[in-house]
Amino acid sequence: MEYRQLGNSGLQVSTIGLGTNNFGKALFDTGLDSDASVAVVDQALDVGINMIDTANSYSHGLSEEYIGRAIKGKRDKVILATKVSSRMGEGPNNAGNSRVHIMAEVEASLRRLDTEYIDLYQIHWWDPNTPLEETLRALDDLVSQGKVRYIGSSNFAAWQACEAAWTSKSLGITSFVSVQPRYSMMDRAVEKELVPFCQKYGVGILPYFPLENGFLTGKYRRNQDAPAGTRLASNDRGMFTDENFDILEGLIAFAKARDHTMVDLAFSWLLANKAVSSVIAGATKIEQVVSNSNAAGWNLTDDEVAEVNGILGAN
């Protein structure tokens, strides 16, 4: 396993991270119970993955609880990332990025994770109803208190990430070291503005859905029924088009000619961008954890990246 700095911080994270939005209640009908979640985390640590990403809202806290059980006695091996913003209960102050919500939810996350600190605390969603300065000052206080080590954002537009960076700098307080956007070979919208911003200002990128709901695993074929039990079997989410299959078939041929899998290519293409600190990938089986970890071993050349981009076409 290789490790990279998380943005311009000194924190080293595995280039493949473990996403845990399927711990607890089924997401895409592939949810894991406590024992299965612990087994997946154990396997991740065994192959050198130290980046574990969750959120307080995943399965309404169950994901954090399961992770807490899994890392008991192994806390020093884990870079623990969680998020806050989503609604966690009834009432006007049980959602968003206000100081009151952040302070309440960080304590709840610490209890569920059974830890004294969170390595990376991320704002899950932009909150138009809360002044950004209030949010950032609350996070800065948590860093000063030692409850949080670093802070980041998720699902922010480029202008929102830039506004946060400027506000933190002008106030002289802790800044976001990372952003977590949806980003894959089939969804490159962030390359227009967010990725250049991150490259310029040293903000680490943590892509999620790198396999585009499994489409980029190569398990789906043109004019064939999706394999039973897969994410896209009941709803293709607009992926099963001739244009997308043209791209997929080109990518499969590219990877196969170099004795690699589609999973290898999907992750390695993202990691060819040095601003990407860790690719967040979920897993429902320990075999998938191993496959994901092995995928980071392919270092694409500049010429190979250019060839893949040619297959992908204009973003």
Task: Please report, for the chain, the start and end positions of each structural domain, with discontinuous segments joined by +.
Answer: 3-215+270-298
Residues of the chain with pLDDT under 50: none
The pLDDT tens digits of the residues spanning 180-224 come to: 999 999 999 999 999 999 999 999 999 999 999 889 998 888 888
User: Quick one: which H or E segment has residue 62?
Assistant: helix 62-70
Quote the pLDDT of residue 227.
83
The answer to whether residues 251 and 263 touch, using CB atoms and an 8 Å cutoff, is no
Quote the pLDDT of residue 315.
64
Quote the pLDDT of residue 223.
81
Residues 3-215+270-298: name the CATH superfamily. Answer: NADP-dependent oxidoreductase domain (3.20.20.100)
Residue among 58, 66, 150, 183 flagged as catalytic: 58
Nearest to 305 by CA among 273, 257, 262, 274: 273
Active site annotation includes 58: yes
φ and ψ at residue 70, rounded to 5 degrees: -70, -30
CB atoms within 10 A of CB 193: 14
Quote the pLDDT of residue 235.
80
Has this prediction a pTM greater than 0.85?
yes
User: Quick one: which H or E segment has residue 205?
Assistant: strand 204-205
Quote the pLDDT of residue 213.
87
Quote the pLDDT of residue 30.
63
φ and ψ at residue 169, rounded to 5 degrees: -65, -40
The answer to whether residues 121 and 148 touch, using CB atoms and an 8 Å cutoff, is yes
- Whole-number Cα distances in Å, 199 to 193, 202, 234: 10, 6, 38
Q: d(Cα 12, Cα 272) in Å, to the nearest integer?
A: 17
